[in-house]
Chains A and B, each alone.
Chain A
Amino acid sequence: DQQVKQNSPSLSVQEGRISILNCDYTNSMFDYFLWYKKYPAEGPTFLISISSIKDKNEDGRFTVFLNKSAKHLSLHIVPSQPGDSAVYFCAASETGSQGNLIFGKGTKLSVKP
């Protein structure tokens, strides 16, 4: 039973355009959400996070939106750059889990020049 779902295995975007990566979750106890980026042969690298008390968090070109009623979050990258090409993982945790993250399967983003 997947608690965190990334339904798009891949996404291709033109350089300079917006990339939107989506994530759905089923566990209403999740209250902290993160996005990690992963390049081949490297470990996941933290990108941005959001707490359930917020509906938006922005960091430079990256913005995460949280819709608690829909149990949905999305990562927006504007403008997309070729260096953003990587696998993006959505992860979630609940208070008291002490950092135990539940990951989605990932979305492979390709940004074409």
Chain B
Amino acid sequence: EAGVAQSPRYKIIEKRQSVAFWCNPISGHATLYWYQQILGQGPKLLIQFQNNGVVDDSQLPKDRFSAERLKGVDSTLKIQPAKLEDSAVYLCASSLYGRPYFGPGTRLTVT
């Protein structure tokens, strides 16, 4: 069974630029999550989708972050404009029931 796929794996941008991350969940998984992991911290949920509807986006900084899930499968997370404090690993995860399965993450460095 293929795992959660994410791209790119690494991205370096300057502050005020925009960036987008892509995620392809495990086939058949209805729930998709985006987590942000800042260095030295545990992952923090940004947004959760059930199929293509948003279940929880209470911790998503909506003035600069946006996310969508196309046709209930792939998802993109966008940051515009980026700030220095957005430097982190962005983890996508998916689940069918219960516990999430995580992808390898995208490491974002904002300079």
Contact = CB atoms under 8 A, between A and B. Distances in A.
Interface of A: 4, 34, 36, 41-46, 49, 89, 91, 98-101, 103-106
Contacts of B43: 44, 89, 101, 103
A9 B102 CA distance: 22
A34 B41 CA distance: 17
Given A43-B91, A43-B103, A99-B100, A105 B48 contact: no
A105 B45 contact: no
B42 A105 contact: yes
A49 B104 contact: no
B33 A99 contact: yes
A10 B99 CA distance: 25
Interface core residue of A4, A99, A105 (most chain B CB under 10 Å): A99
B71 to A, nearest CB: 21
Contacts of B41: 105
B31 interface: yes
Interface of B: 4, 31, 33, 40-45, 48, 50, 55-56, 91, 93, 95, 98-105
A41 B104 contact: yes
A101 B100 contact: yes
A99 B48 contact: yes
B42 A46 contact: no
Nearest to A4: B42
A3 to B, nearest CB: 11
B48 A106 contact: no
Contacts, number: 50
B83 to A, nearest CB: 22
A34 B102 contact: no
A46 B105 contact: no
Contacts of B102: 36, 43-45
A106 B42 CA distance: 6
A62 to B, nearest CB: 15
A101 B103 CA distance: 15
A99 B25 CA distance: 15
Interface core residue of B41, B95, B100, B104 (most chain A CB under 10 Å): B100
B34 to A, nearest CB: 12
